[in-house]
A = this chain, B = another copy of it.
Amino acid sequence: MIKFKSVQDFRLRGGKYFMSGISIDCVIFGFHDGQLKVLLLKIANLNGWGLPAGFIYKDEHIDASAKRILCERTGLHDIFLQQFYVFGHPDRCDNNITKIAFENTGIKAPKDNWLLQRFLTIGYYALVNYKAVNATPDFFSEDFDWHDIHNLPMLAMDHNEIVQKALLTLRTHLRYEPVGFNLLPDKFTMPELQKLYETILDQSLDRRNFQRKMLSYGILRRLKQRREGVAHKAPYLYSFDLRKYHKALEEGFQSAW
């Protein structure tokens, strides 16, 4: 991997190593406190938030780029990651971060700088275990934070739109594929799993029907343990049967036409 001495160095020489005109934006979902959250970066000198993003090395598979970007931001490997849409409005970069950064620092940008052109961006969404994330800002950013999906700040460029599209995609996938393994800790209770589904779908579900449906997929294993130290009746703990889980991921749940 190429190292750059500074952001400015990256801005000036990055075009040698990265594809230009196309970037990757990652919508990283986590689940905490009953809320579906998205990891955002605070863009340096801009006082604004944006999605973790990055570029594609000239000889790199785009999926590998996304994985790399995600790993750099979260410290996580082997996470669920999926391409979901390409955003290609010609004006989406009018408020290009680089442009503003150049303006702010007062340095005149080279006219043909690789970052100062129109960029498409490929949206990837990721599902991660909130607690396992060791978030790290990139070098455009001065901070990071998780934000509740229902309470997002104004984001840079078209990033709000990208998050919405990712959420819609996630909701659709939820119906046909197992979700949850990547968003929950190893052991979890049925109410916790249900809360996750309710949060993603933004609707309440019947407790009993939910349990039946989840169990019918045959990807859950009920443990002997129960959740201890909680008020009221202690719920059982469950874990995913990883072999069956991954099989279901490949084949999907519903097959009827």
CA distance A4 to B233 in the complex (A): 76
CB of A83 to closest CB in B, whole Å: 6
Interface size class of A (residues with CB under 8 A): 20 to 34
Q: Is the CB of A118 within 8 A of B58?
A: yes
Within 8 Å by CB of A61, from B63, B83, B88, B122, lies: B88
> What 0/1 readout, one digit per residue, does chain A (186-219) give for beta carbons within 8 Å of chain B?
0000000000010001010100000000000000
> Within 8 Å CB of A175, what residues of B?
257
Which of the candidate stretches A14-22, A26-34, A235-243 sits at the interface with the other chain? A14-22
For residue A90, which residue of chain B has the nearest CB?
B59
CB of A88 to closest CB in B, whole Å: 3
Q: Is the CB of A19 within 8 A of B120?
A: yes
Within 8 Å by CB of A203, from B56, B58, B257, lies: B257
Q: Is the CB of A89 within 8 A of B118?
A: no
Name the residue among A20, A85, A88, A205 with the largest chain B CB count within 10 angstroms.
Answer: A88
> Within 8 Å CB of A63, what residues of B?
88
Interface: A44 (CB within 8 A) = no
Q: How many copies does the complex hold?
A: 2
CA distance A67 to B116 in the complex (A): 27
Q: Is the CB of B122 within 8 A of A86?
A: yes
CA distance A63 to B61 in the complex (A): 23
> Within 8 Å CB of A60, what residues of B?
90
Interface: A248 (CB within 8 A) = no
Q: Is the CB of A19 within 8 A of B19?
A: no
Pick 30 A–B contacts, CB within 8 A, sort by A.
A19-B21, A19-B118, A19-B120, A20-B21, A21-B21, A21-B22, A22-B22, A22-B120, A56-B88, A56-B120, A58-B90, A58-B117, A59-B90, A60-B90, A61-B88, A61-B89, A61-B90, A62-B86, A62-B88, A62-B120, A63-B88, A83-B85, A86-B86, A86-B122, A88-B122, A174-B257, A175-B257, A197-B257, A203-B257, A205-B257
